[in-house]
Amino acid sequence: MLTPPIEPMLAKPMGHAVPTEATDLIFEPKWDGFRCLVFVTADAVVLQGRGRSNSAPGGVVDLAYAFPELVVAVREQVPVGTVVDGEIVVENAGRLDFAALSSRLRPRTEAGGGNIARLSVELPASILAFDLLWASGDVMHEPFQDRRRRLEQLAQAWEPPLLLTPTTRDPDVARDWFERFESAGVDGLIVKPLADPYSPGKRTQGKIKHQRTIDAVVAGWRPHARSGVDGQPVIGSLLLGLFDDVGVLHYVGASSAFTAGVRASLVGELAPITSAALEPHPWRGETTANIPGEANRWKKEQAWIALRPERVVEVTYDQLEGRRLRHTAGFVRWRPDRSADSCTFEQLETPPPSRIEALLA
């Protein structure tokens, strides 16, 4: 039988629109959760995550400690000698809640047994299965359409929290999923060739994600992990802000992925609007605004350099998490024609309301 670690099959970007002619493709929702390979042996259930750890056996990050309710369900419903690929998700008020899911990993060791047990009741997780690697034998070499058929047969005996990802070969149905269920936590679409084998670590699948643009105020920057050639800090990311309806500037995310040359040149370009420590700034002192620098889920508090909130930049983004950009924004261009006060939350496109149950049904 296969043993961890096995690199999951990956996907590469293929634009932001559903193909109109897709005779040899199948579409799945792209879930907003933790990727997970489920190994069921006579001795254990392993929930292999994407991460790696030098201190863990075989370098495998086993998420089983954090999701005891899933271990019980897998042990009861999935035969020994099975390896399934899927996504761990948490459903909350009709949508997938990534923030709630992330909170399930605190504490990050089995030492927090009481807290883990409490969270498994308060924020129960599910597994959405979408591929099969081993079923009393290696099936990775089989075409996806055959692996999917085997997975459907296996899932006939399942009950929540074990769920089967829906699929469709109809581009119109896929487009409806893409457009209608974004607000429920569907992160986009996964596109799979019907005839492809399972290829660990390779990007032979496709992914289609939403992309939008906004104009945002650049109100600060974070230093890059590496200094410039002169040893001085260079810009790692620009900190972006939007004004609410009463004129408060809120931090909404960051834009990064600049080349080394651009990182260095931006320091000089933004020097004239660098805000001295004693100058007023909307993200300093007592404020009702969302501000940068607060500790995030995984890292300690990060230092940042304030800028007078005057310059405007156009960036791309794919989705929101509350009032912040879910992922790092892509730099498009500076907008000298726009005033900072015109950068408001009204720009953000709000997808129509939907509930994840309608898709999973």
Tokens 């940068």 belong to which residue?
292
Residue 347 CA to residue 342 CA, distance in Å, equals 9
Residue 122 CA to residue 125 CA, distance in Å, equals 10
Q: What is the largest CA-CA distance in the chain?
A: 68
User: What tokens were used for 43?
Assistant: 């001795």
Catalytic residue among 30, 192, 207, 209: 30
30 is catalytic: yes
Tokens 């390979």 belong to which residue?
37
Residue 69 CA to residue 73 CA, distance in Å, equals 6
User: What tokens were used for 122?
Assistant: 């308060």
Q: What amino acid is encoded at 311 in this protein?
A: R
68-77 vs 113-122: helix axis angle to the nearest 10?
A: 70
Residue 174 CA to residue 172 CA, distance in Å, equals 5
Residue 229 CA to residue 144 CA, distance in Å, equals 49
| Sign of CA pseudo-dihedral 88, 93, 98, 102 | negative
Beta strands in 22-123 (DSSP E): 25-31, 34-40, 45-52, 60-62, 82-92, 95-96
User: What tokens were used for 330?
Assistant: 């892509």
Number of residues that make up the chain:
361
Neighbours of 266 (CB within 10 A): 17
Residues carrying an active site annotation: 30
